[in-house]
Chain A
């Protein structure tokens, strides 16, 4: 089974609007970490936000927030007030103790002026 599933290959959002990028994960370990990365066309992977499995509150970092629904095993990224510079690939990733990181296949976000 896939450890990380991102079902949206591509998404479009109007500038200044909010957008949600979906991510579901699969693990039987009670301790894990969830990460979102942004990869612009230039290629570098940029860390955006982290959510721990024991965290009681949803993580927020500026315009990024993570909608963490543990029972559903989902960790959706919400970008508020989209900007043209947000156009990029977005990857969800999970880390289990002692193990590697697992990445999803990504969602391509295009912000429309």
Chain B
């Protein structure tokens, strides 16, 4: 297994357009997380899934953001009607659930850098 992969690596779009990012986690990981990171800041939690169930979504997350993990494998994050403030790195991570060991770290993908013109 090659780790967590994200696609695309970079996305440049005009304000108001919709964008969709994909994340393929490590195959045996049942948890998948999405984060947003801006320059000089730590990853900001957006949402996470256990298998196909979305267990938690940040209260800070606008209704323009939606995520899915339909078959419990890959996940997509969609941003509708993008705004300038959406420009950031979007990170995906996967892990085993805590019940399978609290020492299981998150493994991160390389991220998708979104730039809104």
A91 CB → nearest B CB, Å: 5
Cβ contacts B40-78/A at 8 Å (1 or 0 each): 111111001000000010000000000000000000000
- Contact indicator A97/B98 (Cβ below 8 Å): yes
- Contact indicator A100/B110 (Cβ below 8 Å): no
B100 CB → nearest A CB, Å: 11
Query: In the assembly, what is the distance between CA of A44 and CA of B43, in Å?
Result: 12
- Contact indicator B98/A98 (Cβ below 8 Å): yes
- A33-B102, A97-B98 are known contacts. Are A45 and B43 too (CB-CB below 8 A)? yes
Cβ contacts A17-31/B at 8 Å (1 or 0 each): 000000000000001
- Contact indicator A95/B98 (Cβ below 8 Å): yes
B18 CB → nearest A CB, Å: 24
Number of interface residues of B (CB under 8 A): 24
- Contact indicator B102/A47 (Cβ below 8 Å): no
A68 adjacent to chain B (CB < 8 Å):
no
* CB < 8 Å A-B pair total: 61
Residues of chain A contacted by B108 (CB below 8 angstroms) = 37, 44-45
B12 CB → nearest A CB, Å: 17
- Contact indicator A44/B45 (Cβ below 8 Å): no
- Contact indicator A104/B42 (Cβ below 8 Å): yes
Among A91, A98, A100, residue most surrounded by chain B Cβ atoms (within 10 Å): A100
- Contact indicator B93/A100 (Cβ below 8 Å): no
B109 CB → nearest A CB, Å: 8
- Contact indicator B103/A50 (Cβ below 8 Å): yes
- Contact indicator B103/A45 (Cβ below 8 Å): no
- Contact indicator B45/A102 (Cβ below 8 Å): yes
B111 adjacent to chain A (CB < 8 Å):
yes
Interface positions of B (Cβ within 8 A of A): 33, 35, 40-45, 48, 56, 89, 91, 93, 98-99, 102-103, 105-108, 110-111, 113
Known contacts A103-B44, A103-B45; can you find 13 more A-B pairs with CB under 8 A?
A: A33-B102, A35-B105, A43-B89, A43-B110, A44-B110, A45-B91, A47-B106, A53-B102, A97-B98, A97-B102, A101-B33, A103-B43, A105-B42
| CB<8 Å pairs between A and B, sample of 8 | A43-B113, A47-B107, A50-B103, A91-B42, A101-B45, A101-B93, A106-B41, A108-B40
